[in-house]
Every structure is written in C-alpha cells, then in structure tokens.
C-alpha cells in the first residue's frame, strides 16, 4: 500500500474522511510553500496536492490562477517543485500528490518527470487535463516509477468514462463536485450524492474523494458523509493570500474536524 492508500485507510479506521489539501508550489515563495505544508500537517491534513504552476490553467478559478501567476513570477519551475517536495517530505508525514497540467510534464519529459517526482518524495500524480482516453501519454511512465495515478470524474462523466477513470486510478478516484472551474462555493451541488454513488459503483474498493468548491466546515462535513476523502484548495490558497500561515492552519483545523463522522 502506498502512502496515499495508507492515509485513506487510516482515516477509514478513525471513522472520518481523509482531508486532502492543495497549495500551489512556489506561492508565496519556495520557503512559504514549505511553511504552509507544515501548517497543514499540524492541522491534521492527510494528503497534500502540490500544484505545478502553469501559464494556462484552464480548470482553475481566479484564486488558483493568481497563485500560479505569483509562483511563475517567482521563477518556480518543475525542478523547483521537486525541491519543495523534498523539503516537505523531510519535514512532514503528508502523502504528496504532484498536481499538474500535462504540458509542463511533457516539456520536462514524462519518464524523467516520473522518476524525479518519485525521487523527490511524491507518492502520486494527478494530471488535470489528461482524460482516460489519452492515458498512454503519461500513466505508464508514472506507474512504472511507483506513483499512484489519480483521474478525475465529474457529474457529466458518462458511465464508460467513469469506469475507465476508476480502472486507471490508484490511490483514489477524484470526483469533481460540479461543472466549471475551481473556486469556493456557498453550497454543494444538489446532484453530488448521485454523482458519488455512480463513482463508488465504478471504483469498487478504491477510495473516492470529492473536491472543487468545498470551502466551509458545513460543506466539508456533508462531503465527508458521502465520500472517503474531502479535497480543499481554493479556500486554503485564498486564506494564505489574504491572511497567511496562521489563517491557513486555523481553517484547515476546522475542515479536518468537520471530516470526522458521528458514531462508532
């Protein structure tokens, strides 16, 4: 079992959903990213998605777009992301997911990226714009390097695509809670329970995590009742942008607590 699998298994035994946090590597700086990771670890996060900044982040809302722009302005490269991951791996027990668009990985070389990511301490990879139909562009190299591969499904995913994404995923299957870009929302989508039921049917024993739009303890608690993991990105990045490390840790503690389920 990988570190990601262990994180979800530990959460299940503790009767809670795993808390998966996202930050953009290089924002507000290399050191600042490591500081945020330490804060999230103290708050009880299980998994950290470390985002590779990209100039055309089509799936991202304004908060993550600004974070990527700041990281790129700071000179953050894929090699820099790997150095940040080494620091986080040496200082925390967080499971680490390389979160990226495909272009930076191709530019660096897929096999080289996979090898260096694993050496840096990453446990898995999620390529945002890699659909199941094109998995051969990256998945074989990532799996050969020992990385879990995580694919996205959404409310609009037809049964065949959802089944393919689940079959190709390891670590967990990522359920996008709603159509559109990332960003905090006031409430969960009404059709989310049905989407997660379909995802669970496709995933079998593979854990299912839900993200996109979750920003409050109430939303996290409702998501935790449905899925094995809860993913929060924009709300944490927004807290870092406006108020810094302490605000991120406070928010993360609230969200982690909301992921605990009632009962034995």
Closest CA to 174 of 230, 134, 94: 230
Q: Which residues pair with 47 in a beta bridge?
A: 20, 95
Question: Domains of the chain by range and CATH?
Answer: 3-258 (3.20.20.70)
- Taking CA 196 as the corner, what is the angle to CA 193 and CA 202, rounded to the nearest 5 degrees? 145
Give the catalytic positions in this structure: 49, 60
pLDDT at 211: 94
pLDDT at residue 119 greater than cutoff 90? yes
Contacts of 11 (CB under 8 A, 6+ apart): 17, 18, 19, 46, 228, 229, 259
Q: Which residues pair with 24 in a beta bridge?
A: 51
Closest CA to 18 of 10, 30, 27, 29: 10
Contacts of 45 (CB under 8 A, 6+ apart): 19, 20, 21, 94, 252, 256
DSSP per position, 100-128: E-HHHHHHH-HHHHHHHHHHHT--EEEET
pLDDT at 83: 98
Q: How far is CA 96 from CA 3, 15, 20, 157, 191, in A?
A: 8, 22, 10, 26, 30
Helix residue ranges, H only, 74-215: 78-91, 102-108, 110-120, 139-144, 159-168, 192-203
pLDDT at 59: 81
pLDDT at 187: 63
Q: Is 210 helix (H, G, I), strand (E, B) or coil?
A: strand
How many C-beta atoms surround the C-beta of residue 242 within 10 A? 9
% pLDDT > 70, the chain: 95
76-90 average pLDDT score: 98
The dihedral over CA atoms of 88, 47, 203, 182, expressed in degrees to the nearest 10, equals -100
Using one digit for the tens of pLDDT, what is the confidence trace for 169-189?
999 999 998 655 454 555 677
- C-alpha 142/C-alpha 123 separation (Å) is 10
- CB–CB of 124/150 below 8 Å? yes
β-pairing, 18-24 with 229-232? Answer: parallel
pLDDT at residue 122 greater than cutoff 80? yes
pLDDT at 80: 98
């Amino acid at each position: 079992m990988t570190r990601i699998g262990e994180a979800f298994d530990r959460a299940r035994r503790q009767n809670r959903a795993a808390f998966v946090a996202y930050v953009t590597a290089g924002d507000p700086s290399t050191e600042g990213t490591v500081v945020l990771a330490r804060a999230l670890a103290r708050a009880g996060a299980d998994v950290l998605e470390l985002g590779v900044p990209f100039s055309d982040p089509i799936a991202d809302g304004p908060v993550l777009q600004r974070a990527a722009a700041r990281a790129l302005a700071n000179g953050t490269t894929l090699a820099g992301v790997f150095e940040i991951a080494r620091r986080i791996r040496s200082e925390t027990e967080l499971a680490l997911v390389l979160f990226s668009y495909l272009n930076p990985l191709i530019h660096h070389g897929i096999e080289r990226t996979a090898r260096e990511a694993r050496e840096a301490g990453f446990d898995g990879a999620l390529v945002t714009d890699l659909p199941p139909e094109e998995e051969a562009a990256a998945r074989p190299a990532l799996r050969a390097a020992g990385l879990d591969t995580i694919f996205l499904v959404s409310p609009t995913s037809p049964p065949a695509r959802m089944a393919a994404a689940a079959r190709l995923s390891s670590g967990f299957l990522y359920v996008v809670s709603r159509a559109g870009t990332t960003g905090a929302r006031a409430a969960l989508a009404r059709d989310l329970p049905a989407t997660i039921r379909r995802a669970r049917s496709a995933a079998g024993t593979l854990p299912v995590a839900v993200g996109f739009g979750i920003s409050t303890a109430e939303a996290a608690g409702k998501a935790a009742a449905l899925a094995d993991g809860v993913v929060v990105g924009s709300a944490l990045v927004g807290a870092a942008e406006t108020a810094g490390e302490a605000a991120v840790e406070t928010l993360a503690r609230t969200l982690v607590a909301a992921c605990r389920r009632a009962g034995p």
